[in-house]
Amino acid sequence: MISHRRGAAAVAGAALLWSAGGLAIKLVPSGPATVVFHRAWIASATLWLLLRPARIRFRWSFAAACAAYAGMIITFVVATKWTTAANAIFLQDSGIVWVLVFSPLIARDPVRRADVAAVGACLAGMTLFFVGRLSVQGRAGNLVALLSGVFYAVTVLLLRRNAGPAAQWTAIAGNALAAILVIPFLSAPFDLPVRAWGVLVFLGVVQIGCAYALFIRGLETIPAAQASIIALLEPILNPVWVYLGVGERPTPLAIAGAAVVVGAIAWRTAVSGRAPTGGIPNPD
């Protein structure tokens, strides 16, 4: 129980750090490729310094995890630049549905009825939360955000499956791969104002590096579905930074939606230590 609660707390800490991403990315006066490049290589170096993982044998699941991670990093930044931060976060986090569906097959975690109930409540709360904030504009960005949700789901499932040093190397190599993939699209990537460098260092070190170090630790003790549920704190916390940064106040519906999501996460975390009943069996 103690290790489980520590895992849940680690994932919650990761969500807190992730939540600053949308606003911070918007603050960098450069295109998506430049943001991805600097954010990713800084994060890769940070994760290596924090984790110092042991050597591993190459496996195809590791290569797939690195590719999915890189895809997630790239598509989220592109979506945030091409559409609203609210759209990007909401649509990416829709990937929790794929995590729930494929957890037994990929992560080899049984999905409980409590997971299904919590995900349903969270999605309902997020819908209330984002009423009036979602926009049909930036359709290309919305599509990229949906794709980012798929990459997010695959990343979470494979990080859970490849726990330990393999998961740690996935985050390190995945960020490095993302930085390499955007190099052909860079234009004067080092010609940036001092303020932009400060934001990029924050994104790489804190918002990605420290966050994924916590998330990987959390996934060692809690199932992928539950980790994804707790990670839904990210879109709820994001407007807090927007409010503190630009003074945008949340609507009453947003506050109600946030309460539903936080309540569902708290309930799922509280019941996680009880003996499972009526779970959806693992096909393996």
| DSSP track, 75-131 | HHHHHHHHS-HHHHHHHHHTTHHHHHHHIIIII-PPBPHHHHHHHHHHHHHHHHHTT
What is the domain partition of the chain in residue ranges?
A: 2-271
How far is it, in rounded angstroms, from Cα 12 to Cα 228? 10
How far is it, in rounded angstroms, from Cα 238 to Cα 129? 11
Q: 280 to each of 157, 202, 206, 226, how far by Cα in Å?
A: 17, 41, 37, 14
* Farthest CA pair distance, the chain: 58
Q: Mean pLDDT lowest for which of 5-9, 48-52, 140-144, 274-278?
A: 274-278
Query: Residue 147 in contact with residue 75, Cβ under 8 Å?
Result: yes
Residue 88 is predicted with a pLDDT of 86
Query: Residue 73 in contact with residue 178, Cβ under 8 Å?
Result: yes
Query: Residue 62 in contact with residue 171, Cβ under 8 Å?
Result: no
For helices 85-93 and 233-246, angle between their N-to-C axes, nearest 10 degrees: 170
pLDDT at residue 101 tops 90: no
Residue 26 is predicted with a pLDDT of 85
Query: Residue 141 in contact with residue 78, Cβ under 8 Å?
Result: yes
How far is it, in rounded angstroms, from Cα 199 to Cα 257? 30
Q: Which residues, other chains included, contact 230 with Cβ-Cβ below 8 Å and sequence gap of 6+?
A: 8, 11, 12, 15, 218, 222, 265, 268, 269
Residue 283 is predicted with a pLDDT of 32
Residue 277 is predicted with a pLDDT of 35
**Mean pLDDT across the stretch 243-259?**
75
Residue 172 is predicted with a pLDDT of 97
Neighbour-count burial for 132-148, b at 16+ CB within 10 Å, e otherwise = ebeeeebeebbebbbbb
| pTM (2 d.p.) | 0.85
pLDDT digits (tens, 9 = 90+) for 55-78: 998 889 899 999 999 999 999 999
Nearest in space to 21 (alpha carbons), one of 260, 254, 240, 259: 240
